[in-house]
Structures are given as C-alpha cells and as structure tokens.
Amino acid sequence: DAKTTQPTSMDCAEGRAANLPCNHSTISGNEYVYWYRQIHSQGPQYIIHGLKNNETNEMASLIITEDRKSSTLILPHATLRDTAVYYCIVRPIKAAGNKLTFGGGTRVLVKP
C-alpha cells in the first residue's frame, strides 16, 4: 500500500474550517484515499473516501489534487467534538482482506 505523510499535529479555531493535508506521492491508479478519525478513548470512525474526484458528505469534504499525489480533508465548521487524531490511508480497490494500514495521523485540537 502507498505510504502517506501527514503533519503530526495542528490546531484550529472552533467554528472555522479545518484543512488537513495528506501527501501520498506514490499512490497508484487503483488506490483510494480514505480518512478515518479517532476521538480519545474511542475506536476509529470512517469519515470519507475518494479516488480522483472531490467528495463531500455530511461530515467533511475531500479534495484530491489532479495528479492524486496529495489530498486535503476539510471540516467546514470545526467543533470541539472534532478534536481527534485524523488518519489518511491509501488502499487498493481490492486490498487483500480489506486491510487498513494506519500511519501516525494528525492530532487535531479544536480550540474555543
């Protein structure tokens, strides 16, 4: 699976948009970009995924660059409850056993 690089941590202000970058320069054509988050003392939670088009759901938006070498997760109006570790994961369309490989993630602190 392609590796990802994320900032170790970032702060953002409550009510403002949080933009979380992820580099995946070795991504291949059959790999999707997934985002999960882990709130303290909870299990990881799926947020969004995409292949090459930008995606939006009720939680977030995912912007993938045209060359697919990087992406940005956007939380449009961050709340205190969005404080969590956010994981960017790339995975083949047909990953053996549907395995998810988690990296270190970005620790996001939403401040009042």
Q: In whole angstroms, what is the distance from residue 74 CA to residue 18 CA?
A: 6
Q: Can residue 94 be called a binding residue for another protein (CB under 8 A)?
A: yes
Q: Can residue 8 be called a binding residue for another protein (CB under 8 A)?
A: no
Q: Can residue 43 be called a binding residue for another protein (CB under 8 A)?
A: yes
Single out the residue of 41, 53, 67, 112 in contact with another protein (rule: CB under 8 A). 41
Task: State how far the alpha carbon of 30 is from the alpha carbons of 33, 38, 52, 90, in Å.
Answer: 10, 26, 10, 10
Number of residues that bind another protein (CB under 8 A): 26
| Closest CB to another protein among residues 16, 99 | 99
Strand-pairing partners, residue 63, are 72
Region near another protein per CB under 8 A, out of 21-29, 60-68, 71-79, 101-109: 101-109
Distance of CA 52 to the CA centre of its chain: 14
DSSP-derived 3-state class of residue 98: helix
Catalog residues that contact another protein under the rule CB under 8 A: 32, 38, 41-46, 49, 51, 85, 87, 91-104
